[in-house]
Homo-oligomer: A and B are copies of this chain.
Amino acid sequence: MVSIKQVAEQAGVSFKTVSRVVNKDPNVREETRARVLEAIAALNYRPNRAARMMRNQESGVIGFISDEVVTQPYAGDLLIGAQQVASLHDKVLMVVNIENDRVGRQRAIDMLLERRVEGLVYASYYHKEVQVPQEMLQVPSVLVNCYAENEALATFIPDEVQAGYDATRLLIEQGHKIIGHITLNPDIVAAVKRLEGYRKALAEAGIAYDPLLVVQGEPRFDEAANSVSVEQAVAALLELKHQPTAFVCGKDEFAMQAYFEFAKRGLQVGRDIAITSFDNQRMIAPGLSPGLTTMALPHFEMGQAAMNSIFNQGGDIATRLIPFSVIERQSHLLKN
């Protein structure tokens, strides 16, 4: 690789002068500048970041540790949001994907710290608790889409309660009084928080909470994979004496299966039954008919917020809840 000295030689000036040109120092004679620029172009010179970094002790790199973030549809938006803000500050992201083992994580952290990252984002691919390595505390760090119980770290997580509330509220506003809820695996934070939101919305509307209306759509992690299927769950609710007229589904896949179950029974979403859900899977939600009204996770916004907080962090350690956005399609409406 060609260095500043070679450029200097070619241009017949000292290497310091080249440095000045490269850094746009105004105190260079126009004629000299031209000569240097020419040499730079001729040799295809590019300043070496490592050398620069040694001088000014700035790596310009933010570490992004994801436990599998990128495998999850659209959780990648988190990365994009983060990258966008980083770019604004002229920083780059170094992304490391760790398996869930301790050693991988340790190796990742070491590598990032050796590279003198100026900040660290730890993101998980679904909202959950994580164990963060102590070393993270050495640089400005944030947790995104995950939280650590006893660590003093700024944290950005989706507001699951609000999402559950809004998803339910949407149906209540359409006049529904008996609303079924197919929940996620109860080991997942989202499952319990969304249920909380569901109950809150009911309570607020003066509708009594009926536990019979809440069915689990997928098994706990430790149970056999095939417990009640979503179809069965939906079917069970539809056979209740007081049949629900609306459903809040734990995720769009559930909603998709619910649509099928409805179809099988001759029920038509938008006419006989209303439904809302979570995730806004672009693969599914717009393709159902009628289009599925669903709560979109604020991945992009969390990524942005997290990165912003790295740059502004005055030891701010708060946990910030980022709201879901309501993607209104047709499925929550009943037109007749």
Contact = CB atoms under 8 A, between A and B. Distances in A.
Contacts of A71: 74, 76-77, 80
Contact of A92 (B48, B111, B113, B257): B111
Copies assembled: 2
A53 interface: yes
A131 to B, nearest CB: 20
Interface in A222-240: 230-231
A287 interface: yes
B83 A92 contact: no
A43 B92 CA distance: 28
A12 interface: no
Given A57-B1, A263-B264, A283-B252, A114 B47 contact: yes
B49 A253 contact: no
Contact of A284 (B53, B70, B284): B284
A78 to B, nearest CB: 9
Given A71-B80, A79-B70, A253 B284 contact: yes
B59 A70 contact: no
Given A48-B114, A116-B50, A284-B283, A289 B256 contact: no
Interface residues of A, number: 52
27 contacts: A1-B57, A46-B114, A47-B114, A49-B115, A49-B116, A50-B53, A50-B115, A54-B54, A70-B76, A70-B77, A70-B80, A71-B77, A76-B76, A79-B97, A92-B96, A92-B111, A93-B95, A94-B94, A230-B287, A231-B289, A253-B287, A256-B284, A256-B287, A259-B260, A260-B288, A263-B263, A283-B283
Given A260-B263, A263-B264, 12 more contacts: A47-B114, A49-B50, A49-B115, A50-B59, A70-B79, A83-B96, A92-B94, A252-B283, A253-B284, A256-B256, A257-B287, A259-B260
Interface of A: 1, 44, 46-51, 53-54, 57, 59, 69-74, 76-77, 79-80, 83, 92-97, 110-111, 113-116, 138, 230-231, 252-253, 256-257, 259-260, 263-264, 281, 283-284, 287-289
